[in-house]
Amino acid sequence: MTPKTSDVSTIMILSRNGKPQSLQVKTKHLKRIKHYAAAVAAVFVILAAFICYLTAQNTRQEQEKMALLSQIVKLKGEIPANLQKAGEQHAAQGYIQQIESKLKTINDYLRRRGLKGFTTKGTGGDANAEGKKLSDKEVYSLYNDYLNQLMSNVAFTPMGYPKISSFTSFFGYRSDPFNSASAEFHPGVDFKGARGDEAKSTANGKVVFAGWYGGYGNCVRIDHGNSFETLYGHLSRITVKVGEQITVGEKVGEIGSTGHSTGTHLHYEVRKNGKPVNPINFLTLNK
């Protein structure tokens, strides 16, 4: 049905060659143009706020991680220097009680990361006949070894975002993007991004693979120790080499759409003992 003349408005557009061109638009749309503009602006504001939230969350997470490491370093530095001096027994017991309290707090953080955590049982010698034979120096030495192990566990545990952006796909079963009639298991999460955006490591570690990896396309895998590994897939460009030591936040590649991919994004996995686990549990300490 042809719309009435009053229902249609004509917009004249002057082209570069000076010839006018007309465009007919329903009048009701022109009347609503302010509403449309407001809706589009609202969407942009919401997206900007979400990106700011993710950025702030990742910054806070990095600060918490650094605070944990600083706390461990501080505890190591608090070990009394003159262990053989008379009258050190009271100071030794006070130090041990203090360190056990702080280590419990740190272990609580680690367990929220999906880690089993450490037990302090036997760290400074059990309260039995053999444990009581240990000197203060031997007790401090045991705690020092414990702190070294704990520091490594924190530094080499994947934490935070490899790319600050929204998610385009989550961990678990989903429709196959190439065949909506079937389902597939998605072993990671996908982050939205533009070609060339940086993909960053979420923990210290060693590059064990850097190249084409089947459906992952250009892919980087990093072994973080403590049974953890992270994977960064569909990259347009790889910027690290096998055997290279990587620190947290370091660029490992650039986002792309290589391999089994329908669009530009970063595929990110966290693997524990070789099996994929939900990366969402490792994006923030506050779970």
Domain region containing 262: 167-282
Q: What string of pLDDT tens digits covers the 287 residues of the chain?
A: 555 556 766 665 666 666 666 666 666 656 666 666 777 777 777 877 777 777 776 676 666 666 666 666 666 565 555 444 444 555 556 666 666 666 776 666 656 555 555 555 555 555 555 556 666 666 666 766 777 666 666 667 787 788 877 788 888 887 766 666 677 888 999 999 999 999 999 888 999 999 999 999 999 999 998 789 999 999 999 999 999 999 888 999 999 999 988 899 999 999 999 999 999 888 764 44
Q: Are residues 141 and 174 in the same domain?
A: no
Helix and strand numbers (H, E) in the chain are 5, 14
Q: Are residues 133 and 192 in the same domain?
A: no
The CATH number of residue 195's host domain is: 2.70.70.10
pTM over 0.75: no
Q: In the structure encoding, which two tokens stand for residue 257, read together?
A: 């759409």
**Last-in-domain residue among 155, 180, 207:** 155
Q: Are residues 119 and 83 in the same domain?
A: yes
Total tally of structural domains belonging to the chain: 2
CA 258, 260, 266 angle in degrees (round to 5)? 55
What is the sign of the dihedral through the CA atoms of 258, 261, 266 and 271? negative
Q: In the structure encoding, which two tokens stand for residue 83, read together?
A: 């262990």
